[in-house]
Amino acid sequence: MDKNGIAAVAKSIRSLSIDAIQKAKSGHPGLPLGCAELAAVLYGEVLKHNPANSKWADRDRFVLSAGHGSMLLYSILFLSGYKVSLDDIKNFRQVGSACPGHPEYGWTDGVENTSGPLGQGIALAVGMAMAETMMAAKFNTENHKIVDHYTYCLCGEGCLEEGVSSEASSFAGHNKLGKLILFYDQNKISIDGSTDITFTEDIGKRYESYGWQVLKGDMYDVEGLLSLINQAKACTDKPSIIMLKSVIGKFAPKQGTSAVHGEPLGDADVAETKKNLGINPEEFFYVDPDALRYFEEKKAAFAKREQDWKNEFELWAKENPELASMWNNAMEGKGDCKTEDPVYQTGSSIATRTASGDMINAIGLTHSTFVGGSADLKGSNKSGMKCDGGTWSFENRAGRSVEYGIREFGMADEAVGMSLHGGIRPFVATYLVFSDYMRPAIRLASIMKQPVIFDLTHDSIYVGEDGPTHQPIEHLASLRAIPGVQVLRPGDAEETVAAWHIAMESKDHPVVLALTRQNVPVYAKEDSLWKENIKKGAYIVHKGSDSPDVTVIATGSEVSMALDAAKLVSDKSVRVVSVIDKSLFEAQDCNFKESVLGKTARIMVAEAGCCTGWEGYVKCKSDLFTIDRFGESGPGKKVAEALGFTAENLANRIMSNC
């Protein structure tokens, strides 16, 4: 190890970080000042990476869970040779800068994930480590190991206080993710002061109980850091947490206090910090020449490591052309062959959760890296994969069915981490009402444009006896409100098949499927082109006439309710439209929307949820046939009757004047 080079890199990280934060008049200097040696050792001595190609498939991944310390990451990316310039760093936290306030995936070269919401980075890292095991089991052969890398993550006390870190860490320990290494920046400081005011648990014992290897050391002992990392890598049946005692804001006059956590040091303290580092206080954005020399001398070795892998990959591909084809499809998010759709008879009755389960297994047969699981509910939400080769575990990394346990938040983030890793197409399943637990992860998936599929069943009051706590009311509106999230609520089994195809075709956004617990009829569809028009968000199920008196737009189980209501109306022409995707339909051109809705003076909406978002379709509130209160406990049909949510009452609304 070139200790002088490491020291020069650490000094440069500190210099760049404090100047960037001071210039921006915003940022978090404490972590970059406190963890500079770790970043230098990781990027210089440990990571298998090539800064010239940040997307090399078999690179090690580094996740900065404590995303507020982003200048640590930007500085080391710049110094090690990624496409981050000094000018980018000088524009830290400015609009359009490649160095935004928190790391953003897809925006900055070398950044593996968006982070900032504390704790979620740990769960994303767990998902990446999961994906590595799955890809290795799928593609490695006796002669060639083309998937063999580690996932590293840096967290602080805040990450460990957030509940999602507990969910993810428990899951990782249970599943013995030996290639996951978590660094804990143990500075014992948070925004409001010492962590002793709120956080006094024994982290080491906590992680031992999760089934992790626990190692302890000093953040500033660079040889010790390397030794600890090697110990972590030697343990193949446990993830490792390396607890590193550190000083927040090291070298700053107020080091070791909350004053250096989340605001610029100030001009005077920046100058004093530079003096402590041996840097001229009048020199800004100082980079030690030895830091640049250190990484320049590493450049050839970085490139050689990738080239060696490419050579190995070419030999593997020649020997395993079928696997190579699957690899290419996996990396492009494509299936290995066309999915054979299940077929349903008009007039039959089937829950859309059941039809979804049929599609999960049909897709699983044709997409070899399609992976999914449920929060201890696969029997109920019908998400079990029968074609998966078993359950994924330490003993069976080739399994494609994941048992997540009752950890919805962690589960959702882990799926996002798998998607970020690449080569795996994940879905996760639970009840729609529990999307509340997953919402921060769904939002993060959308920010990062990850096509994770969220299979959410039991989508309305028809859940029945479990009562108001399990009957979603506001959840469809809540999910539709997240930019970029596609919410699909199919009305019958055939629409569910179409919904899964739409979901699988998504490349740059997450998809929510909202599915029924109760059986619903498979209805006739008067639009002969419905399979194409549904891809635009809506289509005509029952035409009524070219100029209907009333058009009822409905979603999910309410489409069949609207069809039943239309049969009860004798004095008006009624059109029924299935809106599988409200946002997508609203994005279409006026001609298409008019062709679907018809030339009508009155539109009504039927959805078993709150009216939020539908108000603009109707002229009077009574034309919103929605549920704007919590439900009741009882059999689903009886609950609907008690709430007046029936086809008969909808028909009466249609027949009455607005």
**Which ranges constitute the DSSP H helices of 236-266?**
none
The alpha carbon of 307 is separated from its chain's Cα centroid by a whole number of angstroms, namely 31
Q: Which 8-state DSSP code applies to residue 143?
A: S
The CA distances from residue 251 to 23, 258, 272, 430, in Å, are: 19, 14, 9, 48
The CA distances from residue 139 to 88, 110, 320, in Å, are: 38, 25, 9
**606 CB neighbour count, 10 Å cutoff:** 27
Q: Which 8-state DSSP code applies to residue 597?
A: H
Q: How close are the terminal C-alpha atoms of the chain, in Å?
A: 79
What's the CA gap between 112 and 42, in Å, rounded?
Answer: 15
Q: Residues with catalytic annotation?
A: 408
Q: What share of the chain is helix, strand, coil (3-state, %, to 5)?
A: 45, 15, 40
CB 321 within 8 A of CB 329: no
Backbone region of residue 116 per phi and psi (left: phi > 0; alpha: psi in -120 to 50; beta: other values): left
Closest to 17 (Cα-Cα) out of 219, 385, 264: 264
Type of residue at 617: Y
What's the CA gap between 534 and 446, in Å, rounded?
Answer: 22
3-state secondary structure of 71: helix
Backbone region of residue 422 per phi and psi (left: phi > 0; alpha: psi in -120 to 50; beta: other values): left
Who's near 69: CB < 8 A, 6+ residues apart? 28, 30, 31, 32, 35, 154, 156
CB-based contacts of 476-481 (< 8 A; 24+ apart in sequence): 476/432, 476/514, 476/555, 476/607, 476/609, 476/610, 477/609, 477/610, 477/612, 477/613, 478/435, 478/436, 478/439, 479/435, 479/439, 479/442, 479/512, 480/582, 480/583, 480/613, 481/613
CB 441 within 8 A of CB 412: yes
**What distance separates the 2 farthest-apart alpha carbons in the chain?**
89
Question: What is the crossing angle of helices 558-568 and 647-655, to 10°?
Answer: 50
Token pair 């009077």 is found at 620
493-523 residues labelled b (16+ CB within 10 A) or e (exposed)? bbbbbbbbbbbbebeebbbbbbbbbbbbbbb
Six token digits for residue 244: 């590193």
